[in-house]
Chain A
Amino acid sequence: MILAVAVLGLLRVCQASERKFDVKDDIFAFPQYDVSFSDSYVLRDDAIAKLDASPSHHDQGVSLQYEYLVGNGRPYLCAVPQLVLSTNETEENAGLETEHDLVAAADRGWQLLKDMEGQQCLYYTTGWWSYMFCYNSYVKQYHAGALNPQARQWPPPEDPNTPSYILGSYDSIMKKPEVQGSPQPKTGDLQTQSETTFLVQKLEGGTPCDLTGKPRRVEVQYHCSPGTPDRIGWIKETATCAYQMVVYTSRLCDDVVFQPPKEAHLHKIECEQILTEEEARDWQPSSSDAPQIDDSQQQRIMVGRVELGGKKLVGGDGKKIERGRIVMTPEEQAEIVVIQKDGQIQSLSTSELKKLELNPDEVAAFQKEMQKLAGGNDWKIERLGDANGQLSLRGVVDAKKKGKEQVEHGDEDDDGLVEADLDEAGSEEHYKHEF
């Protein structure tokens, strides 16, 4: 009986349990539902019986309410799970029922994190302050001051002129009397929030706070975050000189306890087509529309209603349209102004130069400069359009003997300095006229 199987599939315990508030969740974020269309069918008489029955209660406290719907001219019977409240609060804790389990899970967690010791410290920068966190060591707040503010350095170097503060240190935990005595030092707790289980360490004994007179303290939370390197998620000051920090690490994900909740809470609403006896005889489960790709089809890429390279509008006659200047990079916009080829100099007329917003005198001066630089080689002067509307001239020396040389020349100003910089390949020399 296909039907029976389908119904049995729904006999899961559907429970809705209380949830921690998460600011990112919609008011109706939970419970979650998903509608699926079953490959099986239900006979008309059975469907009527189910629709007529009052919501049926099953052993596990789940009841299904049936809805009759019509889609694309076909009748369907859909089973909507009616959720009951779970009375079992610890259920969320992925089987962590007893105190013992909790302790064991925490121990496993700390074991997993052990490798973080000796690894590189983690850094985090937000605004003025940067933070450095070294596992089982300390958290430090400092101002990053690089000698060269342009260069982005990582990790951010500490500015020696600004005081830094220790927000909390691992020693403070180890010094605690209850920890000292025990053979296996307990360094933190296991906590569960919003269905996520994570480890917490409370580091104390930081630099004394001017305002409270007490040492700074920081709470460090370790969350599983699959597939990413260890990193500090965020850090914030929850009270004066009291901080909270979240560290994301994939290490914890090795233990199922710390993994983020799966989609186990997705409640299926299953819909089956309703058939009469006769219809059922000819019934074939809708073959999961195996896409029949024929090879010629596969080559065609449709973007919206347009076929990529379909040549319906342009290109059918062999002509090609070229991109406009507005989408060209400055490189592509280069236009030859003067060129020496095989010793022959060709140049644009004065009026053409003026059209290109170039000063003929300046071009002439640059031309002389180029001839000097190029020696016997061929060369050319190009006009470069710039993104911000600034024009410049570029001289390129043919690379036959001396390597390709480039001279760039700014527009509209006469007494600039010539500055040459060799680019890495060494094949091109780059001269730029700056003002």
Chain B
Amino acid sequence: MLRAFQRAVFGLFAFVLISLVVSPSYALSAVSLAAPESRNHASRSQAQHAFLKDNQGHDSPEQARSRAHHIWAELREIEPTWKEAVIDARPAGLPATVWHYVNKVSRALFMNAPARTSTAEQGKLPVKLQEAVDGLTRAAHVDDDALFLLAEMNFYGNFSHPRRPHTALKAYSALAERSGNATAQHMLGLLYATGLGDAVEVDQAKAQLYYTFAAEQGEVRAEMTLAHRYHMGIATAKSCERAVEYYKKVADKSMDWWLSGPPGGHLIQRNAYRWADEVGGAYGEAASWTSSGPFAPDKNHIYSSFDNVLEYLDMRERQGDFGASLTLGKHFYEPPRGYRRNLKKARSQFMKVATQYWSRDGKVNPKAPKNIEKSAAKAAAYIGRMFLRGEGMEQNFEKAATWFKRGIASGDAFAQYHLGLMYRDGLGLPRDGNRAAAYLKAASEQQLGIAQSALGVLFLDQGDLDTAVRYFEIAKNAGVMEALYYLAEFSNQGLGRQQNCHHAATYYKVVAEKAEPLHSAFVEANSALDRNDYERAFIASLMAAEQGSEPAQANVAFLLDQKTSLLSLPMVPIFSNPLESVPSSQRTPLLNNPKLAQVYYTRSAHQQNIDSLIKAGDYHAAGIGTPTRTLAVKSNKTTPSIEAMYSCYSTAAEHPNAAQALWNMGWMHENGVGSVEQDFHMAKRYYDLALEMNKEAYLPVKLALLRLRARSWWNGVSGGKVKPMEDDEDVARKKGPKSIKEWFSRFIDSALEMEAQDYAERQAGEDGYGDDLEYIVNGEPGMPGGDNEYWYTGAQRREADDLYEDFDDGLLESLIIIALAGALAMLVYVRAQRQRDARANQGQGQGQGQGLAPGGGALGPVGANGLQPILAQPIPPEQQGPGQQGGFFPNPGDPEYQEWVAGGIGH
């Protein structure tokens, strides 16, 4: 067991280290740990090694080994220069700043091109690399390290080697077969599960098999992947118990990893974040769930970059603000995501503050500035911590204790915590649990989460479960990994509480995901994205995504996503789409995989990402990822699933603040798609709600409502079947118009009538109630409520009133609509013409419903992100077949779309 664990951890290091190229020795010992077991049982398996046979000449094991190590050393020379995984914190001081920007600009000007060769390029390798590969291939016949190295190079694209998933697959399977290497088995599972780069057809059975074997041998990534698969029911039956079983294994290792760090544990930094959020979410600023409603950026709050913060602090420091010095020090000590830690600078900052308060001999300086005491105590705690952990200076417990005592003299919690640890673990001080507890308790009283958690452990050790639970519960609020771990244990074992598998799984998962460096390469993925090295970013994210990390899943989908939304059209091509994550010019075959995008949108959606859920709906509409009869068989035929799309949208719409989903629902009701009845009133209600959720949607919603009125009117005058927006009893309407003049007058009438209806609704709503907003925001499932008065909240009414102030003149509104209708009639004609042409080309007509007659013009749904109205998508009321309620997805630019419209709906 221990060995298996060791192997897993080492295998992991192999991955991280090979990728980052830090030190070769660990990586190589990783594979050699896996006992080479050359039982070549089957002749079929020999065939799998075929690629190894291409080269003649075999090495003896010793030769092979030394050759492999030699090549490894040589290869490191080839590695491109961008090893730096994280950006340095911006330098302070003028010259340094200038240099920083010069660097930045020159990079932007000259070095923007992708640094790597892509998978697409299968050309010749550089001579030196080719030699290395040849040598490795020869050695690989007998040496596992060489084989492993080859596989990794082909998979990750290390040392400028092109990514060749297919070759990687062969090398991994050869290694797995020969030695049962857990890492290789895990990678095979990954390749079978994702079909990455078309290396192999997706085969979830084999994926499950290889993941299971890798996990049995203690491969931590495989354990995490299996946990996720059991938790979410991916290619296996959902099982909370089995998910917990695997998550616990990972969480145990995460805790071991954390504890293996210097006193106080490894630094836990969160580098997993959703890339889409940086551009306002998957649907862009204001339209995405993550950037609208309560998540909308606060307009009153100026968001500044970290660089600006540093600049500001720098300025404050010059003005003698010791608080700024301290904050700067903390920034250098624990920098925000993407910035490199700078211990030297951190130390000098802390010292700057501390020496203002204490003289050399540790006496308080009588001339110290006022109010510096607290800041100095904090600085002392940090200095002590750096001594305790040997960070930026030599580890020295004695000095550490001195500094902590200085901090404690001023009652600093952080210092109390650390001194507590020193007593607890006997670091330079006699081991003394009671004193440790006293210090930890003092820090806990000051709301220090890590201290509360550490104290909880002491109570656990004492056998006082009740108190321990209380401490862990309050530490949980600060997100302390240790506390979450013990709470998971309690829930899992039913200690001091009811046994609860679901809680245990959730907590274990959080713990496992906090120990990022143990299993994932988020830092690498993030920095690869910064360099526009999309493939590398993709591979690193994909692995984390398989392991169940929601941000990684969203990121993979984001990279693979090729459209902002199927419901929106890039109306103005002049503006390049800011949301296109990867420029199409760089969309290599590896990144051209919409099916995989759908897989991860779906998984991300199952982890409460509403934008992903809506995206999944978009993809279903395009026929991507919907279960079909063709099982695991690749087919390029896509069958759009309106039901699946509706299912996604309506589920998302149940969520609070999902304006985009409400909008889409409105659109579906407006057009009557699939089994959704065409119902203008419901459409209006959804549109209004979308506006209520998201004020930025003002223009699109208003345009949609205008369109809705026009359609409702058309429906009325032409005797269409969609009723809700008007009066059934009005027989005159049913007769249909006789002249253009009559049309117009009726149009205006109906507009006025709707106006009146709206007014009545609003009036009725006035005497409504107060807590409805809460109810909508808190979003009970379902679309409750019947008569729509109660759907209008106070705010919404105000909004509506504003609108009517703008458009108070009904006649003006009508005229606008008439103008629009005229324009639309034109467009409709053009479009119908085009469709006829297209059909002629196809040579056969597929049913009716295509000869689009000029009808109630409609603006297509407005782009989610954009405020751009979209070209006409007319609905031909007269010619709608019984099953065809009109309404389709206005995405005529897409060739698949035409096909779909032609043969899809209602047939």
What is the interface of chain A, defined by CB distance below 8 A to chain B? 16, 18-19, 21-35, 44, 47-48, 51-52, 67-73, 75-76, 78, 80-81, 83, 85, 126-129, 141, 165, 167, 209-214, 216, 234-243, 263, 266-267, 269, 271, 274, 301, 303-317, 319-321, 323-327
Contacts and interface: CB of A to CB of B under 8 A. Distances in A.
A32 to B, nearest CB: 5
Given A26-B603, A327-B470, A69 B213 contact: yes
A216 B787 CA distance: 11
B602 A312 contact: no
A309 B6 CA distance: 29
6 contacts: A72-B217, A81-B205, A126-B780, A127-B776, A212-B681, A310-B463
**Chain B at the A interface: SS class:** helix
Given A127-B784, A324-B445, A70 B177 contact: yes
A313 B461 contact: yes
A70 B180 contact: yes
Interface in B549-596: none
A72 B445 CA distance: 49
Nearest to B626: A21
Classify chain B: how many residues form its interface, as a range.
35 or more
A74 to B, nearest CB: 8
Interface stretch (B116-124, B484-492, B892-900): B484-492
A311 B209 contact: no
A70 B463 contact: no
B176 A69 contact: yes
A51 B782 contact: no
A308 B463 contact: yes
A391 to B, nearest CB: 16
Contact of B433 (A48, A234, A313, A325): A313
A327 B631 contact: no
Contact of A52 (B42, B434, B775): B42
A326 B441 CA distance: 9
B602 A327 contact: no
B205 A68 contact: no
B242 to A, nearest CB: 9
Contacts of A274: 41
B529 interface: no
B769 interface: yes
Contacts of B681: 211-212, 240
Contacts of A83: 631-632
Contact of B209 (A18, A19, A52, A69): A69
A301 B495 contact: yes
Interface string B36-51: 0101011111000000
A310 B462 CA distance: 7
Nearest to A19: B627
B677 A73 contact: no
Nearest to A266: B237
B785 interface: yes
A237 B781 contact: no
A327 B461 contact: no
B179 interface: yes
Contacts of A237: 682, 782-786
A273 to B, nearest CB: 12
Given A16-B631, A68-B177, A304-B485, A236 B782 contact: yes
B461 A80 contact: no
Report which residue of B193, B462, B628 has the largest number of chain A beta carbons within 10 angstroms of its beta carbon: B462
B173 to A, nearest CB: 10
B857 interface: no
B682 A324 contact: no
A165 B463 contact: no
Interface stretch (B352-360, B514-522, B722-730): B722-730
B424 interface: yes
B634 interface: no
Contact of B217 (A21, A71, A308, A312): A71
Given A72-B216, A237-B682, A326-B445, A32 B235 contact: yes
Contact of A314 (B208, B461, B786): B461
A126 B42 contact: no
Contact of A73 (B35, B235, B424, B679): B35
B87 interface: no
A303 B769 contact: no
A76 to B, nearest CB: 8
A263 to B, nearest CB: 5
Interface in B817-867: none
Interface in B594-613: 598-599, 602-603, 606, 613
A312 to B, nearest CB: 6
Given A16-B631, A21-B641, A32-B236, A321 B209 contact: no
Contacts of A243: 786
Contact of A267 (B42, B205, B206, B772): B205
B202 to A, nearest CB: 8
Contacts of A242: 677
A324 B444 contact: yes
B232 interface: yes
A79 to B, nearest CB: 10
A127 B43 CA distance: 67
B776 A309 contact: no
A96 to B, nearest CB: 21
A212 B163 CA distance: 61
Contacts of A165: 786-787
Contacts of B790: 128-129
A326 B444 contact: yes
A48 B41 contact: yes
B748 interface: no
Contacts of A312: 461
A308 B437 CA distance: 17
B474 interface: yes
A239 B643 CA distance: 16
A360 B753 CA distance: 73
Q: Which of A19, A236, A237 has the most CB of B within 10 A?
A: A237
